[in-house]
């Protein structure tokens, strides 16, 4: 699963500038104007709050669009009845599930993250971890998107983060006993990013991209609570390391 993330819209702007794409950078800068200060830097954002973020779509891969987390299919009558259930899309079944199959075929996207949060279970307690790429400041995760219009004419672009089976690191962290198996977001390397957005690839080729991240590419550490009354909230300190004495683990290498 992937319900809690960290990302910076300003870093996406810098990424565009470093890439030498002035037009893209100007467009992102213009789009940033609609966000409040608290929304530009999502140090910790929960999908259940349905934050507004940038996504990159098949239509114009170099130009981000603004979309809300929680996919609402075109056929849905009310967004409130479905978008808490579509924050994630299980990669193995995206071409089967009614909520996702149309988007899987023709509306795939990328979402750039700095990292994501997940809980580890031990002795009846849960401990939050922050997971990030070992080398990349921003990395791409696979997504699906849709454009929905209400009966009143409201137009809303929405997205879901695609998940896959956990790699070794995430299998150790995401050990919720209530779940059938540990999961993780589908992280794509650069070549796979292009393929994910390609309009030429069919279902078989897309399904081959749905694989866990290679072991050794991610690192993790425990952080302060991100849920409940003690949650740190959307603050820079949310992803800082906080050790728990009762966890006998090797932080950053893990277990």
**Both structure tokens of 113:** 């993250």
Please give the helix or strand (H or E) that residue 222 lies within, else none.
strand 218-222
Q: What is the pTM of this model?
A: 0.91
- Measured in Å, how far apart are the chain's first and last C-alpha atoms? 20
Q: Are 44 and 151 in contact (CB under 8 A)?
A: no
> Using CA atoms, how far apart are residues 114 and 43, in angstroms rounded to an integer?
9
Q: Tell me what pLDDT residue 17 has.
A: 61
Distance of CA 156 to the CA centre of its chain: 19
> Using CA atoms, how far apart are residues 47 and 69, in angstroms rounded to an integer?
6
> Using CA atoms, how far apart are residues 244 and 121, in angstroms rounded to an integer?
13
Task: Give me the helix-helix angle, 9-18 and 22-32, nearest 10°.
Answer: 160
Distance of CA 93 to the CA centre of its chain: 18
Q: Are 161 and 175 in contact (CB under 8 A)?
A: no
Return all residues near 147 (Cβ < 8 A) that are at least 6 apart: 74, 155, 156, 157, 158
Q: Are 83 and 73 in contact (CB under 8 A)?
A: no
In which residue are the tokens 């800068």 written?
29
Q: Tell me what pLDDT residue 16 has.
A: 59
Nearest to 115 by CA among 254, 210, 231, 241: 241
Domain residue spans of the chain: 4-239
Nearest to 255 by CA among 221, 225, 230: 221
Q: Tell me what pLDDT residue 74 has.
A: 93
> Using CA atoms, how far apart are residues 207 and 135, in angstroms rounded to an integer?
26
Return all residues near 137 (Cβ < 8 A) that are at least 6 apart: 11, 114
Q: Tell me what pLDDT residue 125 has.
A: 93
Q: What are phi and psi of 144, to 5 degrees?
A: -125, 150
Q: Tell me what pLDDT residue 91 has.
A: 97
Return all residues near 201 (Cβ < 8 A) that are at least 6 apart: 195
Rounded mean pLDDT for each run of 10 residues along the chain, 255 residues in total: 89 65 68 70 94 89 87 92 96 97 96 96 94 95 94 90 97 92 95 93 95 96 94 94 80 48
Question: Quick one: fold of 4-239?
Answer: hypothetical protein yedk fold (3.90.1680)
């Amino acid at each position: 699963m992937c319900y809690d993330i960290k990302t910076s819209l300003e870093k996406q702007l810098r990424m565009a500038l470093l890439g030498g794409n002035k037009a893209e950078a100007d467009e992102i800068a213009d789009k940033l104007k609609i966000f409040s200060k608290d929304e530009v830097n999502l140090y910790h954002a929960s999908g259940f709050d349905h934050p507004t973020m940038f996504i990159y779509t098949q239509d114009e891969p170099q130009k981000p669009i603004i979309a809300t987390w929680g996919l609402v299919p075109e056929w849905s009558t009310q967004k409130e009845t479905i978008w808490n259930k579509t924050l994630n899309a299980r990669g193995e079944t995206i071409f089967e599930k009614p909520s996702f199959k149309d988007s899987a075929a023709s509306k795939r996207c990328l979402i750039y993250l700095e990292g994501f949060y997940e809980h580890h279970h031990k002795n009846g307690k849960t401990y939050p971890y922050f997971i990030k790429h070992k080398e990349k400041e921003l990395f791409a995760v696979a997504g699906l998107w849709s454009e929905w219009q209400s009966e009143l004419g409201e137009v809303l672009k929405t997205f879901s983060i695609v998940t896959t089976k956990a790699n070794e690191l995430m299998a150790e962290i995401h050990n919720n006993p209530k779940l059938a198996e540990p999961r993780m977001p589908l992280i794509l390397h650069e070549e796979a990013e292009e393929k994910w957005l390609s309009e030429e690839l069919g279902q078989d080729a897309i399904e081959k991209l749905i694989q866990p991240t290679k072991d050794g590419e991610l690192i993790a550490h425990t952080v302060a609570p991100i849920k409940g009354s003690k949650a740190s909230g959307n603050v820079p300190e949310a992803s800082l390391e906080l050790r728990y004495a009762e966890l006998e683990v090797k932080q950053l290498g893990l277990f």
